[in-house]
Amino acid sequence: MKLRAATFNIRNSSAPDGDNAWPVRRGATVAAIEHLDADVVGLQEVLPDQLEYLRWRFPKYEIVGAGREDGMSAGEHSVVLVRPGDWRVERHETRWLSDDPGTPGSVGWDADLTRIATLVWLRHRNGTTIGVANTHYDHAGEVAQLQSSRLIARWVAGSLPWIVMGDLNATPDSPPVKTLVDAGLRLAVPLAVGGSWHDFTGSEDDDRIDHILVTSTWTVTDAAVAHYRPNGRLPSDHWPVVASLELQ
């Protein structure tokens, strides 16, 4: 069984980005998502107005994930998009990256903001189930980043095949990413293909903070950082990261 997975921080619509503001680039963002040709896409920094736009532009996709402020619609979402085809959403949960993961709006450790992970169980048409975790770690709290990885590692433990992806605000050699690797996950995308965050510069060699990690049951057949600029427009301040996977 094959699955193409991608993660993409689309930059929230409330940011004062001038010529790169959401209304200017939202068409390019959608085009960049389409260009990934992915079965499953994890998006970060999705505010309610952006989610409404995405639902309109991807009407046939299953789109799941709750707002981080109230567990319903308020605040940023880390949504998972599932393309129509072989995979369907069996169930999904939003969990908070804190000591109390079931409490909406809870803030963990030294985090500056509320942070979440969206966990989705997907069923293939042949009956096989896999797990996908899409997350966005805090940008400031080093303890929160590390503890978030420990939570994720616990949540994906066991025999079920998992894909963990998102903006971890941490480079591959950092303790949060190493914690996930030490737990048995492996990075799907080679470092040699470049960075993922560029701050609307278009740079391709800045920090890699967006990651896809997989359990040992997956074989990575192809992986990349996607530098597609529809009509020359930067779709976000991050580049998407994408990997083609095959279940052993």
Residue 248 confidence (pLDDT): 78
Residue 38 confidence (pLDDT): 98
Do 97 and 137 touch, CB atoms closer than 8 A?
A: yes
Residue 247 confidence (pLDDT): 95
Nearest to 196 by CA among 168, 231, 162: 168
- Segments in the chain below pLDDT 50: none
Write down the CATH number for the domain with range 2-247. 3.60.10.10
Residue 9 confidence (pLDDT): 98
Q: In Å, how far are 106, 137, 223 from 190, measured between CA atoms?
A: 34, 21, 7
